[in-house]
Amino acid sequence: MQKLTKAQRRAWDINGYFVVEGAFDPDEVAFYDAQINALRAKPGWEPTNLPRGHYGWVEHGNPDPDSFMDRRDLLSYDQCFIDLIDRPGMFDLVVDIMGPYLAFSMSQAIVRASTPEFPGYTHTDGGEGLRRIRVTESSRPLAMKIMYLLTDVTEEKSGNFTVYPGSHLRPYPEVDETIPSPDMPGAVPLMGKAGDAYFFSHSLWHGPSANLSGHGRKTLLYNYCQLFMRPYDHAMVAAVAERCTPRQRRLLGDLGYDFRPGSYTYVPEDQLELIMQGAA
Ligand SMILES: O=C(O)CCC(=O)C(=O)O
């Protein structure tokens, strides 16, 4: 399987993220862009008036393709969202970072609307608990994401994915201190082309910047965690399971047998073979 280049490994260890340029070709960008637009007419999980980080069921989103959208749990909408779970090349890098005892834990499509009303925000992933766990430089991460950019972001204040390089390894301001924002010192608003992908650690402080570009900034996010952790999204539903390969089913938590004590902590005997597909 493909491994991180030396430069990617260095960037991951020191900065907590790296960029893969041209992960999608222009046809794929157009295809996934249309897929995201199509989600708006369908029911699904979106932020409602629930507490932060929780999603409620809505019958449809705002039909304007440039308006805000944050749709979760994409796999049942189309085969193309299942295919992305272990996309060749990209998933290889995930396994090189996470190791083979991993699970797929969340799929998400976000559109950051252009509006003066949204200042951006900064956070770590994983909620209140995971935020306080920072593994060492030489450890595998507990969780990570790939963000696929579907819009060119060539200037600041364009909904840039904004990171604090190295913040995955050190304490950072939290609620009882200055509320971190994308305008604080140390923030790096990333630029990129539609089709680029950002790999980042859950414990890296990050978030969207304001978007005053005049158009929505679209992304897809795919989240991976260690197998012993809980996924964010629903457990696999039958309609998704029957469209998955055995490796994808394993990544969605199908161990090949019913739950028994020890499951998910100690892995099935075929784990390496299934995940590495002969490369172990
Ligand atoms: O929309 C963005 O730029 C950031 C998304 C984000 O913060 C996240 O996936 O945790």
Distance 183 CA to ligand 1 centre (A): 15
Helices and strands counted in the chain (H then E): 8, 12
Atom 10 (ligand 1) nearest CA? 125
Atom 2 (ligand 1) nearest CA? 208
Mutate-to-test residue for ligand 1 from 74, 145, 161, 181, highest number of ligand atoms within 8 A of CB: 161
Distance 198 CA to ligand 1 centre (A): 11
Which numbered atom of ligand 1 lies nearest the CA of 161?
A: 3
Distance 107 CA to ligand 1 centre (A): 12
Quick one: average pLDDT of 267-280?
90
- Report the pocket of ligand 1 as residue ranges, CB < 6 Å: 110, 112, 125, 145, 161, 206-208, 219, 221
Q: What b/e sequence results for 134-155 when a residue is b if at least 16 CB atoms lie within 10 Å of its CB, and e otherwise?
A: beeeeeebbbbbbbbbbbbbee
User: Does the structure show a pLDDT above 60 at 35?
Assistant: yes
Q: Which residue has the tokens 């280049």?
A: 5
User: Does the structure show a pLDDT above 70 at 178?
Assistant: no
Task: State the average pLDDT for the chain.
Answer: 94
User: Does the structure show a pLDDT above 80 at 80?
Assistant: yes
62-72 pLDDT, tens digit each: 999 999 999 99
- Maximum alpha-carbon separation in the chain: 53
* pLDDT at site 215: 97
128-139 pLDDT, tens digit each: 888 888 888 889
The answer to whether residues 199 and 146 touch, using CB atoms and an 8 Å cutoff, is yes
Atom 7 (ligand 1) nearest CA? 207
- Long-range (24+ apart) CB contacts under 8 A made by 129-135 are 130/202, 130/203, 131/174, 131/203, 133/203, 134/168, 134/169, 134/170, 134/171, 134/203, 135/203
pTM of the complete model: 0.96
Atom 6 (ligand 1) nearest CA? 207
Rounded (10°) CA dihedral 71, 162, 214, 179: 90
Which numbered atom of ligand 1 lies nearest the CA of 209?
A: 3
What's the CA gap between 236 and 241, in Å, rounded?
6
User: Does the structure show a pLDDT above 70 at 175?
Assistant: no
The answer to whether residues 75 and 37 touch, using CB atoms and an 8 Å cutoff, is no
Distance 161 CA to ligand 1 centre (A): 7
Which position has the higher pLDDT, 178 or 218? 218
Distance 113 CA to ligand 1 centre (A): 13
State both tokens at 64: 């304007």
Atom 1 (ligand 1) nearest CA? 208
Mutate-to-test residue for ligand 1 from 209, 219, 222, highest number of ligand atoms within 8 A of CB: 219
Distance 208 CA to ligand 1 centre (A): 6
Any residues with CB less than 8 A from the CB of 61 and at least 6 apart, and which?
Answer: 39, 40, 41, 44, 46, 67, 69, 71
User: Does the structure show a pLDDT above 80 at 239?
Assistant: yes
Atom 5 (ligand 1) nearest CA? 207
Which position has the higher pLDDT, 180 or 203? 203
Any residues with CB less than 8 A from the CB of 260 and at least 6 apart, and which?
Answer: none
* pLDDT at site 128: 83
Distance 125 CA to ligand 1 centre (A): 9
* pLDDT at site 52: 86
User: Does the structure show a pLDDT above 70 at 279?
Assistant: yes
